[in-house]
Structure 1
Amino acid sequence: MSAQVLVSRPPAPQCVPVGSLQPHCVEEAVNTGQHSSSGLATAGFRTAKYLLEEWLQANFTSYYQASADRDGSERSRHEAKQLAAETEARAQRSQADGTKKLGERLLDIHFWRSELGREIGELRAETELLLEQKNRLQRALDATEIPLSIAADNLQCRERRLGVELVRDGVEVELLQEVELIRNIQELVKRTLEQTIHQIRMNRAAKETLEMDWSDKVEAYEIDDRNGRYNNQSTEVQFHPNSSTYEDNTTNLDSWAQFSHDNIYKGERERMASINLRFLIDNILQDTAQDMRSQCAAVDSAFGKRCEEVEDARSKLESNLKKTLEEIGKQENNVSILNQAIKDKETPMKVAQTRLYQRTARPNVELCRDPVQFRLIGEVGELTDSVDVLKQKLEAAEQCLRNLEDTRMSLEKDIVNKANSLFIDREKCMTHRTRYPTVIRLTGYQ
């Protein structure tokens, strides 16, 4: 350019470098100032208009900028499309992984729920069996009242034995042992019953804990199962902005599994304790029933033996009574004979004494001590001695008769007492003992 610039012109427009994402790269030339073109007056001089080269440069810059913007836009579109595809794929993968995790979680919940349900069922069945054992214990305890009342009644009845029959014999010893045995068994059954009631409470508490855990597992399974069925086409999904934050009361996976494991372990522990207690109850009821029946048999045997002894003694007493009665008859006859013998001596005594008396009337020297006199005196003496001996023998016979009568009365009393003892032991006690409960009832099955 050779022409001299007479007036200043605005600076050339500044373009945004290539590659920039600015929407405009060329500014329009603005004629400002007081030296702008005003027509022919300025012809031949430099004006505010751009030169052709500047115009071409500006166009080129605009073309270049437009091309750069298009390239940037295309690149942005490509990146956006690629990013959208990647995020879509990532979202699909995340959702699929979440669904998979939910499925795995459902398997875990189903496993523990099944284990809890199995343990609940077994614990419920075990509790029912233990309840039946409790009822058996109660029935067995009630059944012991009958043997106790029978033994007490036997002891009370035998207190009504008379005389020497009121003896502490083998039957009484066995009855006292039976009463003590039954009372000890009642105490044992009562303690076992209390232990059974406590174990039933423990079983129910463990079952309640397991049921609560099982119920939570069922609810959690339903929630996760429902969540696992959600997808992008579900209509009931919505935004929950604060749901992604961790809650303070959440547990970790280990503590979650350990919680159910501990509950199942406690349930199994109580169930095993219940099983052992049931076996113990079976053994206790069997042993106590056998002990009571064995003691009952011992008492019955003692009663039988005692009745045989009393029966034998009564038979011997009756035999002795029969012999005593015979002897009493003979002794009474002997007393009669002795009395008659004494009475028979009266006439000879009268004859002898009359002879002696009559001979005292002999006159003078005829009153002499001749052999007749000596004989008569000797006869009177003999008769007197005979009467004295007979009287002594009569007294002895009468004493024997009195003794025999006393013996007879004693024998008859002893026979009556033994008959009373036999009636008490055989008719009352042994008959009452036929009501003794059977082993089936003593073990609580009836």
Structure 2
Amino acid sequence: MNLNSIHNIYFIGIGGIGMSALARYFNANKKHVAGYDKTQTDITNSLLDLGIEVHFEDSVASIDAKFLNPENTLIVYTPAVPKNHLELTYFKNNGFNILKRSQILGIITENTFCLAVAGTHGKTTTTSILGHLMNECNVPLTAFLGGISENYNSNLILNGTEVSVVEADEFDRSFLTLSPDIACITSMDADHLDIYGDASELKKAFEEFSKKVKSNGKLFVKNGLPIKGITYGIEDDSDYSVQNIKIEDGTYVFDVKTPKTTLKNLQFNLPGRHNLSNALIALAMSVEYGCPHQQLAKALASYKGVKRRFTYQIKTEDLVFIDDYAHHPEEINAVHQAVREMYPSKKVLAIFQPHLYSRTRDFIDDFAKSLSQFDEVLLLDIYPARELPIEGVTSSWLLNKINNKNKKLVNKKDLISQIQLSNAQVILTIGAGDIGEEVKHIKKKLSIAS
């Protein structure tokens, strides 16, 4: 498809983090952009501020007439949209060009030098670090991020079109539309079993992705994964390895051993060994691209993070409030490791909203084990996203499996009052659902109280 011949682009699910980045991209490239989403959020408000039309009712009558001509309009949709969606059905029945978000990314990136970040955890943080490092090295790039970068207050970094930096999303096998020049695989833990059925099928998809890397390209893999490539790891014998780790005033200070040299006394401000690993692979990909070491070191120290990825909402002597997107047991373990490393002697309250009935069912025991590590747990109902309920799969079921006497099931309207009953000095909100919308209310109440 020649995107130059398309004047109008309409997004179904425009408020999604990946979809909104594409909407920003096309808007910056002078296309007419509009879309639908079911919920008004900070992201949709930011699109409205850019002059992008967004409506919240599934109704063809709500769509501007200029987007109803199939000859010059492209429809982009997210797989999270239900099959009976009225607008999507209309476009399908009336001869429009309709593509998934991943297919558009494939088209945009095929004529660029593409760096792609794959893995069941760490994609968004790694991609945003990589985009920031290369942007600070004045690489002419477009970076599509799966989260809002704190450095740019956006999920799009736009500094040219020769190079693209993208998340290679395994959901719905989306990453198989890409043909990267440099790629990495951060992790391959079982996930999205509603799509893959079992872990072996997920592994096959990652193997297939590894073969999508161009013949003269480079593939990085975290040490220990069952796919061949340039290895990276922490304090091990990988090709790229973090060594001599220290924590000084809440900042990691460390060396990185590369195949050719050692970079000394690098600084990185995000807590947690998982984030140190993300920083390492972003640095390694930038080095292989050819970015100067001195500029990379300066850029790494200036990286601020991604919203909802161990984001400090309150940070005082008496109270710390952190928000994180973690929605898989391994991600919750990583958050726990980070918070214990930074606050080893403080009581920690974790507020968790499970995401998807199927994921809760598939990893129920692992979720219970990861949540049991905290001093106190408040559990919200499952956020359904694209799914219908599954009989017997409830937050009550998960609560009963958590091995912690300080646990409670709460609803949103009672959440703040329950938090105020706790004497925890560190409070965490965790989950990929709409718990993120509660954060500003919690922050406001806790700030007044303190």
Considering fraction of residues, name the structure with more strand. Answer: 2
TM-score, length of structure 1 as denominator length: 0.13
- Greater helix share, 1 or 2? 1
User: Relative contact order (C-alpha < 8 Å, sep 6+): which is higher?
Assistant: 1
